[in-house]
A = this chain, B = another copy of it.
Amino acid sequence: MDILHRVGIENSAPEKVYDALTTVEGLAGWWTDDVTGDPDVGGVLEFRFPPGGFDMKVLDRRPGERVTWEVVAGPAEWVGTTVDWQLRRDGDYTVVLFEHQGWAEPVEFMHHCSTKWATYLMSLKQLVETGEGAPSPKDVHIAYPD
């Protein structure tokens, strides 16, 4: 089972979105300000949030086109899943196709993560469009203080 999302980022080349997905500084601008690690293929990125975090191994990255991570540590439901980003240019927009693939069961945590990913994709869009995203701990709350 997969979580799917799509956003369109205005007045932006795919290379700019790619930078926000493949540099520690870029990732810190929209997902969490507590990110460390190696964003090259085979490297591991450590994303931390107040309640926990995820370690992502970079499986693939193709400039301006695609980034794929495998979750190698984190909540049990996440470990072994993959997070895939496809980018393409469409006029003045960069279209971002997002898939968090391989959930075993449609548990309530999957519902939560789906909505939360949407808000982080909007944060990525805002970062690239305006220079300012809403990474954790400034992230949009969707449920409990989370």
Collect the chain B residues with CB atoms within 8 Å of residue A95's CB. 143
Collect the chain B residues with CB atoms within 8 Å of residue A125's CB. 142
Q: Report if A59 contacts B (CB, 8 A).
A: no
Contact size class for A?
Answer: 20 to 34
Q: Please, how many angstroms separate the alpha-carbon atoms of A116 and B131 in the complex?
A: 23
Stretch at the interface among A3-11, A12-20, A46-54: A3-11
Q: Which of A102-133 contact B (CB under 8 A)?
A: 106, 108, 110-112, 114-115, 118-119, 121-122, 125
A contact set with B: CB distance below 8 Å: 1-8, 93, 95, 97-99, 106, 108, 110-112, 114-115, 118-119, 121-122, 125, 140, 142-144
